[in-house]
Structure 1
Amino acid sequence: MRKNTKQRAMVYEELKSRYDHPTPEELYYSIKPRYPKISIATVYRNLRILAEEGKVIEIKSDKNILRYDAKTEPHYHFKCTKCGAVLDLDIPYNKALDEELNKKGYKVDYHSTIFYGLCPNCAK
């Protein structure tokens, strides 16, 4: 187990306070004014470690842009094709999909789905 560093705690707390699924760069720019000595490499490294530890999840959206989410229980996301927002969807997680694959011999831990289209604000 890795030592929990001050920088890792700072990155984790900032991510937990946000619901916009930020990129590492977005997190860096929101932390930097309060902690001027932090580097972008530190943010990337600590996000990778937090993901390996299961404390955050990585979301690969279009063009392989990595975004991060501190909400680790299985849930779905929606990516707005107009404004670029990545949002949590308040719909039930479908465990039946996991169970169906398990019946076929697969060992599913969870599944991840991103829906694409217009968010409610852009659809108006």
Structure 2
Amino acid sequence: MNKNAQIILDTINASTDHPTAEQVYLHLKERGTKVSMATVYNNLASLYAKGLIRKVAVPGFPDRYDNVTRHDHLVCQNCGRLVDVSLEDFTESIQRDSGAQIISYDLNVTYLCPECTEARVGKDALHN
């Protein structure tokens, strides 16, 4: 693994906020690492292809990147916020019910985060 890929992998693994490619780039720049945006994109694609990081797609928002530790996500349908949640591993029950050999799965539960819920309630109150 090249030096930039290792730095990017370390950045993703240390992150708790599911950074976008641009956020990874800005983080590296702040640390004094000289990389181009293209280098970040290429290394993220390579790390993802090798199964070393996860890519979390949220419709309407840039792709986010995450570590590969087994966990699931809550995804706010309004602002795109991602929250890690630890749910039961469903692999065995899916295999039992379907008869299929499950390689992996990603579970993203769509919800409305507290801030967006509060904003919606406030907006509704103004219209009543």
TM interval, short-chain normalised = 0.7 to 0.9
Q: Give the superposition deviation at 1:34.
A: 1.8
The equivalent position to 1:91 in structure 2, one of 83, 87, 92, is 87
Q: Which runs of 5+ in 2 are unaligned?
A: 119-128
Pick the structure with greater CA Rg. Answer: 2
**Conserved in 2, the CA contact under 8 Å of 1:24 and 1:67?**
yes
Question: Normalising to structure 1: TM-score of the pair?
Answer: 0.80
In the TM superposition, what are the counterparts of 1:62-77 in structure 2 within 5 Å? 62-63=59-60, 65-70=62-67, 72-77=68-73
Percent of paired sites with the same residue: 27
Tell me the number of residue pairs that the alignment of Structure 1 and Structure 2 aligns. 117
- CA deviations 1:54-101 (Å, max 9, x no partner) are 11111111136311111x144211112344321111221212124423
Partner of 1:118: 112
Say which structure, 1 or 2, has more relative contact order (CA 8 Å, 6+ apart): 1
CA distance in 2, matches of 1:35, 1:45: 19
More helix by share: 2
**1:45 alignment partner, one of 42, 46, 49:** 42
Q: CA RMSD in A?
A: 2.0
Residue 26 of structure 1 deviates from its aligned partner by: 1.0
Aligned to 1:58: 55
Q: Equivalent residue of 2:52, what SS?
A: coil
* TM-score for both structures, normalised by structure 2: 0.78
Structure 1 residue runs of 5 or longer lacking an equivalent are none
Distance of 1:29 and 1:49 partners within structure 2: 19
